[in-house]
Structure 1
Amino acid sequence: MRKTIIIFVILITSTVTYGQTLLNGQVEVAKKEIVKEGDLVAVDLLLDLSKLEIKSNQLYELTPSFVSDSNKEELPKIQIVGRNKELFLKRNEKNPYGYRIRRKNRKSQEYHYQVVVPHQEWMNRSTFVMDEDQCGCNSVVLASAQNSITSVDLIQEFIPSLVFIKPEAEVKNRNEIGKAYLDFQVGKTHILETFRNNPTELAKVNQLFDEINKDENLTIKGIAIHGYASPEGSYSLNSKLASERAQAFKQYLTSKHHFKGYEIQVDSTPEDWEGLRKYVVNSTINDKEAILSIIDNAMDPDPKEWKLKATYPEQYRELLQNCYPALRRSEYIIDYTVRAFSVEEAKVLLKTKPQLLSLEEMYLIAQTYEVGSDEFQEVFDIAVRMYPKDPIANLNAANISLSKKNLEDAQRYLDRVEGDRAEKIHAQGVLEAMKGNLQEAKKLFEKAEQLGISEARENLEKIK
């Protein structure tokens, strides 16, 4: 289920600045305003000529322009003329020039320049400049200069409609995965609780099982134990040790905790060659590639272990000391379900145990807060941290980032969503519009609309 939420994301409405000078400080641009209005750009300049002294036959031409790295759009020139120059021009032109002012020296004087030009997308991020030409007789250019008037940002106010997705309700199946590195007497399978490091390992195991067993919100559905032995010694003995030590771990757990309604499944791997390989790959051990070649060989385990020990005795002793102890372990998985929570219960858990909440429960929490508020945004931030691979969590988090104008994070969340999902295309369109790439945004909104996102049409209207 989708929900449209409009969050006010104000980018730029127009470019308005004050107090720029031209012609060596003699002319002040008292005000300049550049506004995009639909498919047009309106330029409004107010020039204060009060300080300008001009000779009777003199002419200044000011040429306003939009410029970018590879584009330039000149606007109609502004002519400032002396008395005789004005008379000369009038006698020799068929049509009076519309952007000319005759300067009256030593008098306060302003000129209001207004022009409208077609909008071009490159103007959205451009510079507004003023070219200056001082002309003498026969309009010969005596001096030229250029002034950068202002940086232009013509991206209009954009208030996107953001599409948040309500996740489906789910049965909350969870699991906890742990490893117990228990010490056994040589060749034995009985667990001695006080032997070597066993008190520490067993305390960690018991704490986890107690927490799950005593939590009334959780219901254990199954436990699986998998025992591993290292490749040291014969395969037959290791097979026996891995299996019987895993069974001993099961018996220990059933003696300490109350389990009912399900069986504890037990399995074993006689020799953990895969774990040995992973250790070697990540190590700096000498002759690494040759040792890996032996490990990957398809020969039986006992000849393989003998060849490794005989060919590389020094490295084998290193593995015995640093790697093999960690290969001897019992891994366990506790599968459980979490009950459904009311919104008020979920609000408490969001601060203490958010892992117990579903995405739907988090979404319902968000609906109790004002749209765009810190609390509203925090819920979706927590949701994506708890479910970093979930497409809905990432799409909603992308919309939150867009509402905060954090375009980099928004793109990062969108990149996690695979495929051409309609909501992703729409959110990407919002992002492109906020970056000023309006043509790309238009394409994405059109595609999203075709895929059933009605909000895309609203956003298309807003970027026209």
Structure 2
Amino acid sequence: MRIMIRYTAFLLVAFLLETLTSEAQPKSSYTGTININPVRVLQAGKTLYVEMDIILDHVKVKSAGAVDIIPRLVSASDTLVLPKVSLKGRNEYLTYERVLSLMSLSERSVYSPSYQVVRNLKVENQTIEYRYTLPFEAWMAEAYLDVQKDECGCGEVAWMEVETIDTVKLDIIPFPYRIVPYLAYVQPVPEPVKNREKQVEAFLDFEVNQTYIQPEYMNNPLELAKIRAMIDELHVDHDITINRLDLIGYASPEGSLAGNKRLSEGRALALKNYLARRYSFAPSLYHIVFGGENWEGLRKALTDLDVVYKAEIELIIDNYDGQKRKERLMKLQGGEPYRYLLRNIYPGLRVAICKVEYHVKNFNVEEAKEIMKVRPQNLSLNEMYLVANTYSNGSREFINVFETAVKLFPEDDVAKLNAAIAALSRGDIEMAGQFLDQVKYRELPEYANAAGVLALLRGDYDVAERFLQAASDAGLEVAGKNLKELGKKKANDLEIKSRMINE
């Protein structure tokens, strides 16, 4: 019995040794040959393109076998494994499908991060086109592509040593050159005295032929409140000195000119008396002005209305004056249009304007910086410019100052030009173009430089060169730097175009 046990043990050891020896011999999971034909690996902008053809020459994967083709980007500092192409035999592919069927979509992407899984059953020629893109990173400029093959012919989950199949160098296309514009702002002329004016229109209601203001009559509470709000804002500001208050009365153009003058002046005087009871201004600050019959207001009101005989009314207003104009309006189409005007338009022409003239004290830079936060309207353009230069050029605070300035001084060419330059500094080409189009005086070299930068960013190189050369000839140093940027951009465009054609 003991001998039998020893013999059986000997046979078992011999069997194991034979099995291990057999398994130690390398076995392939497939027949045929696999070749890689590199198409291209290139960088264009922020994207890297990896393209190759995997050529299967009479490849037949064994039923329980699998072959993975694994591309990698390799550099001295980093390695990135790209999605693989997996060739699977019949049983291996069925197992793969069963496992996938039990997973959620998110689990599948983790389990099988493959570019393509191929069920290889027949011996035939086949080409798998591998086309993959990924974000370009700086280290990839020194990388190369190698393609590896992993296979296991034993039917167990174990991988053989990786075998390098081919190596392809990167073909790098340059990044599009990013223009760095050089900008120059214009310093506004200082104001020794900052004279300002502000006005508000009030449509006050009076009883027929009366010149006395009844504060609670009809719409008067709201209209009087508009006037008081404007004056209060100025009156309580200790940086402001009020120099003059003009009370201008306009009349609707019916009746005699003398009668209209008497009524409008009387109503303006009534407004002056109303204000004098509420404020302590010196009487000498008030000035009563007759604005005349409000034909301009009538012409403006007609443009926004769709009324009968509108064109005929406008012709009369535009081609006749004085009493003759009134008479023709009254006779037009039997008086029907005139009666419409009396009822619907003329009451709104009896307007009173309160205009306040004042001056604002001047501020040093530190004072102006604080005023900018709370009452920027009290600053001059030059004071705003000095505030802007306390911040880093191109910073958000720096740009905000120039964008605020153009809102407060919308008709000023320097404000519009600096706002355009600020828009360029933050890459807003559309806004920069809008502001530059509004600038009337275009002889400043800073304007030519800004127009040149705008054309450069738009890709209009001929226009850019013309403007920038003019600014450089006028002595503006930054224009010369922008001409160099133009040269770099043109050279970069040519290089990219040449490389793309060659590809």
For residue 182 of structure 1, give the secondary structure of its aligned residue in structure 2: coil
Supply the AA of the counterpart residue of 1:180: A
* Cα distance in 2 for residues equivalent to 1:52 and 1:401: 57
Q: Does 1:26 align with 2:37?
A: yes
Q: Does 1:271 align with 2:293?
A: yes
| Contact kept in structure 1, 2:227 and 2:354, CA below 8 Å | no
Supply the AA of the counterpart residue of 2:449: H
| Contact kept in structure 1, 2:365 and 2:383, CA below 8 Å | yes
* Cα distance in 2 for residues equivalent to 1:207 and 1:250: 16
For residue 424 of structure 1, give the secondary structure of its aligned residue in structure 2: helix
* Cα deviations by residue, 1:385-442 (Å, 9 ceiling, x for unpaired): 2222322222222222222222122222211222332111111222222333444323
User: 1:162 is matched with which residue?
Assistant: 183
For residue 431 of structure 1, give the secondary structure of its aligned residue in structure 2: helix
Q: Does 1:410 align with 2:432?
A: yes
Supply the AA of the counterpart residue of 1:168: V
| Contact kept in structure 2, 1:180 and 1:201, CA below 8 Å | yes
Correspondent of 2:306 among 284, 288, 303: 284
Q: Who wins on radius of gyration, i.e. which is larger? A: 2
More deviation in 212-221 or 338-347? 338-347
For residue 215 of structure 2, give the secondary structure of its aligned residue in structure 1: coil
Structure 2 matches for 1:220-299, cutoff 5 A?
A: 220-260=242-282, 262-298=284-320
Correspondent of 2:422 among 397, 400, 404: 400
Q: CA 1:265–1:442 in structure 2 vs 1: closer, same or farther (change >3 Å)?
A: same
* Cα deviations by residue, 1:270-297 (Å, 9 ceiling, x for unpaired): 5322322322233211111222333345
Q: CA 1:211–1:462 in structure 2 vs 1: closer, same or farther (change >3 Å)?
A: closer
* Cα distance in 2 for residues equivalent to 1:229 and 1:276: 11
- The CA deviation at 1:262 is 4.6
Correspondent of 1:462 among 478, 485, 495: 485
Q: Does 1:305 align with 2:333?
A: no
User: 1:315 is matched with which residue?
Assistant: 337
For residue 242 of structure 2, give the secondary structure of its aligned residue in structure 1: strand
Structure 2 matches for 1:54-203, cutoff 5 A?
A: 108-110=165-167, 154=176, 156-170=177-191, 171-203=193-225
Q: Does 1:442 align with 2:453?
A: no
Supply the AA of the counterpart residue of 1:363: Y
* Cα deviations by residue, 1:49-108 (Å, 9 ceiling, x for unpaired): 99699xxxxxxxxxxxxxxxxxxxxxxxxxxxxxxxxxxxxxxxxxxxxxxxxxxxx994
Supply the AA of the counterpart residue of 1:431: L
Q: Does 1:210 align with 2:232?
A: yes
Gaps of 5+ in 1: 1-23, 35-44, 54-105, 115-148
Supply the AA of the counterpart residue of 2:330: K
Correspondent of 1:429 among 452, 462, 467: 452
* Cα distance in 1 for residues equivalent to 2:468 and 2:456: 10
| Contact kept in structure 2, 1:395 and 1:417, CA below 8 Å | yes
Correspondent of 1:357 among 361, 379, 388: 379
User: 1:127 is matched with which residue?
Assistant: none
- The CA deviation at 1:241 is 1.0
| Contact kept in structure 2, 1:49 and 1:110, CA below 8 Å | no
Gaps of 5+ in 2: 1-34, 58-162, 488-503
More helix by share: 2
User: 2:241 is matched with which residue?
Assistant: 219
**Aligned positions, number:** 344
Supply the AA of the counterpart residue of 1:28: V
| Contact kept in structure 2, 1:48 and 1:111, CA below 8 Å | no
User: 1:4 is matched with which residue?
Assistant: none
Q: CA 1:109–1:48 in structure 2 vs 1: closer, same or farther (change >3 Å)?
A: farther
* Cα distance in 1 for residues equivalent to 2:326 and 2:419: 51
* Cα distance in 1 for residues equivalent to 2:428 and 2:351: 46
TM-score by length of 2: 0.61
- The CA deviation at 1:304 is 4.2
Structure 2 matches for 1:339-354, cutoff 5 A?
A: 339-354=361-376
- The CA deviation at 1:330 is 1.4
Q: CA 1:179–1:26 in structure 2 vs 1: closer, same or farther (change >3 Å)?
A: same
* Cα deviations by residue, 1:175-218 (Å, 9 ceiling, x for unpaired): 11112222222222222333333233223222322222221111
For residue 164 of structure 1, give the secondary structure of its aligned residue in structure 2: coil
* Cα deviations by residue, 1:330-363 (Å, 9 ceiling, x for unpaired): 1121111111234444334333322222222222
* Cα distance in 2 for residues equivalent to 1:160 and 1:293: 53
Supply the AA of the counterpart residue of 1:165: V
Supply the AA of the counterpart residue of 1:425: A
* Cα distance in 2 for residues equivalent to 1:161 and 1:198: 56
| Contact kept in structure 1, 2:36 and 2:52, CA below 8 Å | no
* Cα distance in 2 for residues equivalent to 1:270 and 1:366: 45
